[in-house]
Amino acid sequence: MVRAIVVAFGCVLAAGAGWAKGRSAPGTPPPFDVAELNERWTSAFDNQEEATLAAMYVRDAALLPAEGALKNGSAEIEEFFRVQTKEFGSAVLSNKSVKVLNTTTRLTRGALKFDSRDKVETAEQGSTRKRCYAKRSFSGSYIMVWEYLDREWKLAADSWSASQTQPNEVPCARTEQP
């Protein structure tokens, strides 16, 4: 009997030592590593991996972009990113804070920045001049709610605001009217 108690106590100590080294105890989520999660998100965005981005969200997640309608669920979120990743890249998420809401939910706040992928040209209506835009920058703030679900951290809610969109206008050569 004493031997069984010693073995059981040793198992408890070993589990506690593993948890103290950054491993999660049974039934609890692993440590929340916002830098690693932000890196996964920005990498998927920059590489135009919309399915990977959508998989980082829970099935019924809500995404509220700065300029646009609320996106609900994985399918709408994936379609939103299919459009956005064609236009923007060089994503940067700079986390400012993490708030523990409960054992399986975290709220993160920070700054974000994106640059357009290519130069955009638009013709002025009724004019012979064109306007060319160099890479555009978009910056703002974000709030993300992460949940630990199915053995990984996933986004339940994601919202961002725009503090600045900068088009960097440059002149183009004149064009001939038909």
Which of 28-32, 100-104, 147-151 has the lowest average pLDDT?
28-32
Domain extent, residue 62, equals 33-171
Of 30 and 125, the one with more pLDDT: 30
Q: Is residue 49 a part of any domain in this protein?
A: yes
Q: Is residue 22 a part of any domain in this protein?
A: no
> Do 61 and 155 meet the contact criterion of CB atoms below 8 Å apart?
yes
Cα angle for residues 105, 110, 114 (degrees, 5° grid): 120
Mean pLDDT in residue range 24-40: 84
The count of structural domains within the chain is 1
Q: Is residue 103 a part of any domain in this protein?
A: yes
On the question of pLDDT at 130 being above 90, the answer is no
Q: Is residue 82 a part of any domain in this protein?
A: yes
CATH assignment at residue 42:
3.10.450.50
Q: Is residue 20 a part of any domain in this protein?
A: no
Q: Is residue 17 a part of any domain in this protein?
A: no
Q: Is residue 89 a part of any domain in this protein?
A: yes
Q: Is residue 81 a part of any domain in this protein?
A: yes
Rounded to whole angstroms, what are the CA distances from 178 to 76, 125, 127, 173? 42, 13, 11, 16
Average pLDDT, the chain: 78
Dihedral sign of CA atoms 11, 13, 19, 22 in order? negative
